[in-house]
Structure 1
Amino acid sequence: MQKYDIAVVGGGVAGLTAAIYAAKAGKQTIVIEKQDRLGGRAVSNKKKGAYFNLGGHALYHGDALATFRELGLSLQGNQPSIDGYGIWKGKLLTMPMSVKSLLTTPLLSWKGKMELASWLAKFGKLDTHRYDQISLREWIESNLHDPMVRNVFYALLRTASYVVAPDMQAAGPVLQQLQHSLQGVLYLDRGWGAIIDELREIAVKHGVRMLTSSKVVATEHRDGAVQHVRCEDGTLVEAKHIILTAPPAVAHQLVLNAEATALHAWREQAIEITAACLDVALRRLPKPKQQFVYGIDQTIFLSNQSRAAYLSDDGAQVISVIKYQGEKKNPDKDLQDLEQTLDLVQPGWRDELVAKQYLPHVTVCHDFLHMRRQHQPGPAVPEISGLYVAGEWASHGELLVDAATASAKRAIQCVLALEYSERKPENAHRNIV
């Protein structure tokens, strides 16, 4: 039996963030990861000198960026230009992303250009929380009048959140995410695996123990409090506090009698968001100016992340093409759509191909802020003292990696608050004496 103050199940961004803040607070901490390497969905794969993420990744000006800076990560990379194109009826047309492109784009009528210009001027100061309880479609249809302006906003908001569900998606959080994206995004040198490497180094520096290739099969509790984590190989890790960064369904499976806890409600309300992702490394770009493309009448997005980050050891251009998926998924059709997008944007790309990665069904997030959500997940599981959840699905208004870091910090704050409340009567007694 190994004993720790805090055991973190899962070594992705949320798990490593939680572990670092726990260790910085003086807690003996262990991270238990079932894979042989840390990172979860934030790993990077290297193929023929090119660094591929698990789908498209961009670091916005949100909680994750602030957290990584606070922890001292180097965050090497650059901010790409937002100038780009939109795909409308099979054609590439200038996307209205700047004053010049707004004036020249054939996508909008003059009336539409004026409406979009007015919105972009005031959007940064918009109080998005006013719209937390209405759907994205309701916000767009109530506030935007020109049909093509609506289409442009749907494309921008879909790209900011990866979600194709305007009737279910809560408007406030995704509008806030678009605010963050309009401040610019950061593409990282050598992909998101670089973040994981640095988080691991910081965690180890602060005394966190890493246990990889060890699958947790049970989180056991007694008399309303956590006891220990049981691994598949028989390893037992006793901890006063356990943080589960697994998906809601897995977290539910790991906890005995989870049906009688909030974990059950969190699992039942969860709606998984997925995407099909095609990454290619090209020796050169057949069309160098066409590097950033939104699908307007299709759920596609293309970005050459090499235009801002070091993603190849030999100078190849690494392009990520994403198809945001709804309920219906067809791997062959999705690949065809992604390749056709490349054919349109970079004709002749196959002749320049160095390496390729196709992921037909990548989980973007295991839940998001939607109109069917009845319960705010985490950080504490109220029925079991010392049990917490974190991860991109345990959002209280943040999206994607911002939700991962924010939920991790909430869990640690909850741990420290509980321990303070437990010490307080003892301290008060000593002061009286």
Structure 2
Amino acid sequence: MSSISEMKWDVVVIGAGMAGLTASVYLARAGRKVLLLEKAVEPGGRAATKNIAGSWMNLGPHALYKTALGILQEVGVTPTGAMPKPNSLLIYKQPKGGDIALPLFQFLLGSFLKWSEKTQLIRFYAQMRKEDTSILQNVSLEKYLETRLPSPRVRNAVLALIRTSTYCSAPDLLSAGAAIVQLQHGQVLYVDGGWRTLVDPLKEQALAAGVTIRCGCPVRTITGNVPEMSVSLKDGVLLKAHQVLSTVGPKETLALLDPALQPEDAAIFEQLVPIQAACLDLVMTEMPNPKTTFAMGADYPWYFSNHSAIAKFSDNPKQMVVHVMKYLRPGEDSNSKQDEHELEQFLDLIQPRWRLHVVQRRFLPHLLVSHAVVDAASGGYAGRPGPVVKGRKGLFVAGDWVGAEGMLLGASLASAKSAAHCIINGKDHSKEGNSLGA
């Protein structure tokens, strides 16, 4: 540790998740001397994958949007995997009580929907594909759908698809513009071997470019301004840097700053509301209903997917990785025991006797999905901070809560590239607020 404290780094990057690793590659390839710090014992953050009972399991269900492939390929990562198949179920409440699981073809072609409802759905998707999302950033998804889909049943089916693509169960908060972009670019991959197959080659690319990576190094404070900045670690080590890039969450970043940002500069960080989910992750030997590989709640914020039906997560052909999830309402408390019981009942409906085939289970009651809802009231993407931190010259941020582009991993990668380019091009204060400064 003393060797890294004896040097002055061009950039200290805090957080070795996907954003931190990606930004460090761009910076090092541009000739910057980069130190990448991670508080955990290994890189990856929320993209970490664990081997559980001989199967590789992500932290909850992960899907890689194909729109993220461009940046991954730029930094030398080419994922392998496959697209989910459209043989899904939609779960509706029945008027007289109980639930009904409708295969997608039956929902579209059967008698469940009236002809007028089918027409609504067809018209919506035809218009959605060419929608100008820039004018919908400050319109809530709830308001947008109510003006286009009078039928509650059709509206809930569309909401189920949007929950799956955004991981957000708050149509009254979520920007319609941001949500529709996710639907327009909705092709995803389930990645073979889990997301460690993204993290590991990213780490290799960073090391090959000359990045110094230190894990088990939690940060205590960030002080100073460009070109004299300091990062102190919780073990007392003091690091010197010209500039600092934080890829941890918004509130975590604010907590590291000494002195604190002025209230008017901190406000854009503080207003962000994280998205969480309750996840039941399973390693199983078989599925009672093997043809059911994907299901969504139309009247419930539920999700089910047998990821092993699409991609490879184990060398054991008799084992499969299954994820069941409840999208939690952002900003509200939830009952963990009730959520777990609800997910078990959901599985009882679509996979009866599933308990007989469980090898191992893991319940994550409050899994952090994203650090921020793309909030319509704040202007959609425009309500997120840009990579250049106003009020602290030399400090930059990246992550799924930063920048005017994308959600989830897409936002993380885009903001990581943007922040790196701002540093490389010397844009440490000329482009503040929400800018992508390429």
Question: How many angstroms apart in 2 are the aligned matches of 1:107 and 1:370?
Answer: 34
Q: Per the alignment, in what secondary structure is the counterpart of residue 258 of structure 1?
A: coil
Partner of 2:101: 92
2:307–2:321 CA contact under 8 A, matched in 1: yes
Q: Per the alignment, in what secondary structure is the counterpart of residue 380 of structure 1?
A: coil
1:302–1:319 CA contact under 8 A, matched in 2: yes
Question: How many angstroms apart in 2 are the aligned matches of 1:393 and 1:113?
Answer: 36
Question: How many angstroms apart in 2 are the aligned matches of 1:14 and 1:273?
Answer: 18
Q: Once the 2 structures are TM-superposed, how far is the Cα of residue 145 of structure 1 from its aligned partner? A: 2.3
Pair 1:185-2:194 in alignment: no
Q: Once the 2 structures are TM-superposed, how far is the Cα of residue 158 of structure 1 from its aligned partner? A: 1.3
Partner of 1:305: 307
Partner of 1:165: 170
Measured on the aligned residues, the alpha-carbon RMSD in Å equals 1.9
Partner of 1:314: 316
Q: TM-score, normalised by structure 2?
A: 0.90
Q: Once the 2 structures are TM-superposed, how far is the Cα of residue 8 of structure 1 from its aligned partner? A: 0.3
Q: Once the 2 structures are TM-superposed, how far is the Cα of residue 4 of structure 1 from its aligned partner? A: 1.3
Q: Per the alignment, in what secondary structure is the counterpart of residue 323 of structure 2?
A: strand
Partner of 2:76: 72
Question: How many angstroms apart in 1 are the aligned matches of 2:201 and 2:373?
Answer: 27
Cα deviation 1:105-159 (Å, max 9, x = unaligned): 4442111112212222343222222211110111001122222211111111111
Q: TM-score, normalised by structure 1?
A: 0.91
Partner of 2:423: 415
Q: Once the 2 structures are TM-superposed, how far is the Cα of residue 226 of structure 1 from its aligned partner? A: 4.9
Q: Once the 2 structures are TM-superposed, how far is the Cα of residue 261 of structure 1 from its aligned partner? A: 6.3
User: After the TM superposition, which of the residue ranges 111-120 and 286-295 deviates more from structure 2?
Assistant: 111-120
Pair 1:368-2:377 in alignment: no
Question: How many angstroms apart in 1 are the aligned matches of 2:338 and 2:265?
Answer: 36
Question: How many angstroms apart in 2 are the aligned matches of 1:263 and 1:287?
Answer: 53
Cα deviation 1:71-101 (Å, max 9, x = unaligned): 2313011112122110112111022xxxx55
1:94–1:105 CA contact under 8 A, matched in 2: no
Question: How many angstroms apart in 1 are the aligned matches of 2:335 and 2:392?
Answer: 41
Question: How many angstroms apart in 2 are the aligned matches of 1:279 and 1:254?
Answer: 33
Question: How many angstroms apart in 2 are the aligned matches of 1:289 and 1:35?
Answer: 39
1:291–1:304 CA contact under 8 A, matched in 2: yes
Cα deviation 1:311-353 (Å, max 9, x = unaligned): 1221212110110011131110000011111111111111111
Distance 1:158 1:419, change over 3 A: closer
Partner of 2:249: 247
Q: Per the alignment, in what secondary structure is the counterpart of residue 166 of structure 1?
A: coil
Question: How many angstroms apart in 1 are the aligned matches of 2:69 and 2:112?
Answer: 33
- Gap runs ≥5 in structure 1: 423-433
Q: Once the 2 structures are TM-superposed, how far is the Cα of residue 354 of structure 1 from its aligned partner? A: 1.1
Aligned residue runs from structure 1 range 321-400, under 5 A: 321-326=324-329, 327-373=332-378, 375-400=383-408
Question: How many angstroms apart in 1 are the aligned matches of 2:429 and 2:277?
Answer: 43
How many residues are aligned here? 414
Q: Out of 197, 216, 226, which is 1:194 matched to?
A: 197
Distance 1:304 1:395, change over 3 A: farther
1:107–1:148 CA contact under 8 A, matched in 2: no
Amino acid at match of 1:45: K
- Gap runs ≥5 in structure 2: 1-5, 94-98, 431-438
Cα deviation 1:154-181 (Å, max 9, x = unaligned): 1111111111111111110111011111
Cα deviation 1:55-79 (Å, max 9, x = unaligned): 11101132x2221122231301111
Cα deviation 1:190-210 (Å, max 9, x = unaligned): 111211111101111111110
Partner of 1:5: 10
Partner of 1:112: 117
Partner of 1:430: none
Q: Once the 2 structures are TM-superposed, how far is the Cα of residue 420 of structure 1 from its aligned partner? A: 10
User: After the TM superposition, which of the residue ranges 194-203 and 371-380 deviates more from structure 2?
Assistant: 371-380
User: After the TM superposition, which of the residue ranges 291-300 and 161-170 deviates more from structure 2?
Assistant: 161-170
1:261–1:382 CA contact under 8 A, matched in 2: no
Pair 1:143-2:145 in alignment: no
User: After the TM superposition, which of the residue ranges 108-117 and 365-374 deviates more from structure 2?
Assistant: 365-374
1:226–1:242 CA contact under 8 A, matched in 2: no
Q: Out of 25, 29, 34, which is 2:34 matched to?
A: 29
Distance 1:385 1:103, change over 3 A: closer
Q: Per the alignment, in what secondary structure is the counterpart of residue 259 of structure 1?
A: coil
Question: How many angstroms apart in 1 are the aligned matches of 2:168 and 2:46?
Answer: 17
Partner of 2:436: none
Question: How many angstroms apart in 2 are the aligned matches of 1:343 and 1:217?
Answer: 46
Question: How many angstroms apart in 1 are the aligned matches of 2:73 and 2:367?
Answer: 28
Question: How many angstroms apart in 1 are the aligned matches of 2:7 and 2:45?
Answer: 24
